[in-house]
Amino acid sequence: MQAYAIKNGVPYDVAHVMDDWELLAHAIVFAQFDNGNKEWDWEGMKFIER
């Protein structure tokens, strides 16, 4: 997930010291932008249409 965060503008040194839950949160937000602003369903662990 560090590579995905770095690809989306998180500085290299910051991405490598972030906790897993922080990286997951950033990855979900970045993926929402990439996927047409779909909503993340926490129970289903997938993107859904709004």
**Per-position pLDDT tens, the chain of length 50:** 788 889 888 999 999 999 999 998 888 888 888 888 788 888 998 888 87
Predicted pLDDT of residue 14: 93
Total tally of structural domains belonging to the chain: 1
**3-state SS, one letter per residue, for 18-38:** CCHHHHHHHHHHHHHHHCCCC
Predicted pLDDT of residue 46: 87
Q: Which residues pair with 40 in a beta bridge?
A: 47
Predicted pLDDT of residue 20: 92
Please give the residue range of the domain that contains residue 34.
Answer: 2-48
Predicted pLDDT of residue 1: 77
Angle at 17 between CA 44 and CA 41, to 5 degrees: 10
Other CB atoms closer than 10 Å to residue 13's CB: what's the count? Answer: 8
Predicted pLDDT of residue 33: 83
**pTM, 2 dp:** 0.67
